[in-house]
A and B are shown apart, each in its own frame.
Chain A
Amino acid sequence: MPIINVENLSKVYPVAVKEPGLKGTLTHFFKRTYTAIAAVKSVSFAIEPGEVVGFLGANGAGKTTTLKMLTGLIHPSAGQLDVAGYNPFRRETGFLRKITLVMGQKQQLIWDLPALDSLRINAAVYGISDQVFRQRVSELSEMLTLSDKLTQPVRKLSLGERMKAELLAALLHQPQVLFLDEPTLGLDVNAQVSVREFLKDYNERYGATVLLTSHYMADITALCQRVLVIYEGQMIYDGSLDGLLETFAPCRAVTVELAEVKTTAALQTYGDLSEVSGRVAHFIVPQEKLTHTLSRILAELDVVDLTVAEPPIEEIIGQIFRSGAVG
């Protein structure tokens, strides 16, 4: 039985619209007009206990809005939602004890006090006894290699250490369902790896279910067997990560070094331009158009060097985000 079940979930935000300039400002002051922005449109999916699922989408695609609805922070405009047997928006104690949300760009720890003080508050709020509290803090801080940092004021910690302390605070009550929104945002490569390893370890040790968003593909490839892809509020892919890549496999990354610099507009006529740096242009070309495109490039441009390769995963995801279509 799924631990997370989402059916036709939607969220519409009213957003005030203001024209630029003084006239627009005055109109905005006296008569405010709102337009409804549909952030999430009829999204459905189910997640089984213990699964680690990656949630992918460009900025503003609706990932965070979906996570906020799943954690009960915001009220859905329409649809059915079931997390661990609860309706999230009611925020019942039983539900709150079972879930957690970690936001890479936000922090819950009190800035001017040692993390241990914030942890004590969490222990009291969740009704964790002193004995269990000490045991969990030592276990988690060992997994996170953080033990000697907990007595220093949070503001004195490095970004990586702070993120680890945030994870500790978010997991102190041993939740079964983890919602992670960019948990490795801004961390250096070493810190990213250790957060990733910790999450993997946590998932294996406690059988916790994880739904995570990240802009670092390494997070997704290291942790998730399954991915959900959301584009402009709509779910466009739900399946294995390999499946996503296979669907996109009939694509090649073509790198062309030209004798002279060409404008982006001129280059775009040859296909999906992913990057241009000086005389070097990178294209993502569908398999079936590869021969045609290559012959056009060789015939029409002054080519110094040309390579064809498997595209990197970031490119594939990026192309999906741009086009909004899989395959």
Chain B
Amino acid sequence: MIMKRPIQNALRKAGTLLTVYYAYMLEYRAELLLWVLSGSLPFILMGVWGQAAQGGRFGLSSLDFIRYFLAAFLARQFTVVWVIWEFEREIVEGKLSFRLLQPLDPGWHHFASHVAERFARLPFAIALIALFFLLFPQAVWLPSLSSILLCILVVMLAFVLRFVTQYTFAMFAFWVERANAIESFWFLFYLFLSGLIAPVQIFPPALQKIVMWTPFPYMIDFPASILVGLPVNVGQGLGIMVGWIILFFGLNRYLWRRGLKRYSGMGA
């Protein structure tokens, strides 16, 4: 009656969670398009930097900037994370209780819904890129297969890193009423140091050195640079990403165990 094979069982759980949450995300067709568009800050910055680069002071051409911000847009699309708001709501409304009653760590529900949302968002993001290339054919470039594959791997890791950091901050919801304040503060650093506003390559060299040890540039700049073909240290980058993931994951599990002892299942 109960399935004995653990791998098959885990695959079935993953498959069911993904298909159901995919169906859930598709319920929000109109919202999906808006969510994709709300991530179009790189298109605005593309124009700004494209103009600024015409002076030739940054070591990157206008075309480099345009391609960089296109890649940044893509990287951002697949690393958007909102788990802290969801988790906070579950704590405040006591909905975490239902998740705790099931023999599956509640984190998997959030992870699966984020992954499913990526698939729901993909067609919109591709359509937007295609439209852009139609309007600016001179920006078209074809990355090598190896950099595409590497970029996919790095984007997946970047998503995991962004998810695990935000989910760790979410754990503070056990102690404070609004844990998302931590995320808002963190987001300030993310905005400037991830490469969303400007490529890390044009930062002053001293700042660049420090920034490369933080988790931020690996969420946008690193995958975008790989796709565009800007020089990056792949080995060091992957190592630092994995290091931060392990660190935050450990912290997350520690806070989870401590937090559960404080959980009062409010209103439920």
Contact = CB atoms under 8 A, between A and B. Distances in A.
Binding between chains A and B:
yes
B16 A127 contact: no
Contact of B102 (A105, A106, A122, A132): A122
A128 B265 contact: no
Nearest to A117: B20
Contact of B3 (A96, A100, A127): A127
A68 interface: yes
B101 A100 contact: yes
Contact of B9 (A122, A127, A132): A127
B261 interface: yes
B101 A106 contact: no
A125 B101 contact: no
Contact of B24 (A74, A108, A113, A125): A113
| Range for the number of chain B residues in contact with chain A | 20 to 34
A125 B104 contact: yes
Contacts of B100: 72-73, 91
Contacts of B178: none
Interface string A81-108: 0000000000101001101110101101
A125 B97 contact: no
Given A120-B16, A124-B16, A113 B102 contact: no
A112 interface: yes
A26 B264 CA distance: 26
A121 interface: yes
B20 A106 contact: no
Nearest to B28: A112
B97 A121 contact: no
A96 B101 contact: yes
A13 interface: yes
Given A110-B24, A117-B20, A121-B17, A75 B261 contact: yes
B230 interface: no
A interface, by DSSP: helix, strand, loop or mixed?
mixed
A71 B101 contact: yes
Nearest to B96: A73
B16 A103 contact: no
A223 to B, nearest CB: 22
Contacts of A132: 1
A270 to B, nearest CB: 40
Interface residues of A, number: 35
Interface string B6-40: 00010011011100100110010000000000000
Interface string A37-75: 000000000000000000000000000100010011111
B264 A13 contact: yes
Contact of A129 (B1, B24, B268): B1
B1 A74 contact: no
B94 interface: yes
B103 A113 contact: no
Nearest to A106: B268
A206 interface: no
21 contacts: A13-B264, A73-B97, A73-B265, A75-B260, A96-B103, A97-B103, A99-B101, A101-B101, A103-B97, A105-B267, A106-B94, A106-B97, A106-B268, A112-B27, A117-B20, A118-B20, A124-B13, A125-B103, A128-B1, A128-B2, A129-B1
Given A68-B97, A101-B101, A120-B16, 12 more contacts: A72-B101, A73-B263, A73-B265, A74-B265, A99-B101, A105-B267, A106-B267, A112-B24, A113-B20, A118-B20, A121-B16, A122-B102
Interface of B: 1-3, 9, 12-13, 15-17, 20, 23-24, 27, 94-95, 97-98, 100-104, 260-265, 267-268
Interface of A: 13, 64, 68, 71-75, 91, 93, 96-97, 99-101, 103, 105-106, 108, 110, 112-113, 117-118, 120-129, 132
